[in-house]
Amino acid sequence: MAIVEIYTTQTCGFCHAAKRLLKQKDVPFTEIDVTGDAEARESLMEKAGGRRTVPQIFIDGQGIGGFDELAGLEREGKLDPLLTA
């Protein structure tokens, strides 16, 4: 199983939707909550190439983007292969 990390904030609806999708698929993930944490937000920006919006989702260290990209991969049947690689 792939290593999944998701950077979130507590009030982000798209973050909750992304976590819900991953939970529905029984995918374990590490959540990094950047709410009010300047250091964590800086870490996110470095890892995500300057992007600071959440969610930012990484599968095996590869940034896939946010919820829209995650849902798009699921619709296209491309998410499961990434998760099992």
Concatenated DSSP letters of 38-63: HHHHHHHHHHTTT---S-EEEETTEE
pLDDT in tens, the chain (85 residues): 899 999 999 999 999 999 999 999 999 999 999 999 999 999 999 999 999 899 999 999 999 999 999 999 999 999 999 999 7
> Would you identify the CATH topology of the domain 4-84?
Glutaredoxin (3.40.30)
Rounded distance between C-alpha atoms, residue 39 and residue 41, angstroms: 5
Q: Is 34 exposed, middle or buried (0-12, 13-18, 19+ CB in 10 A)?
A: buried
The model scores a pTM over 0.85:
yes
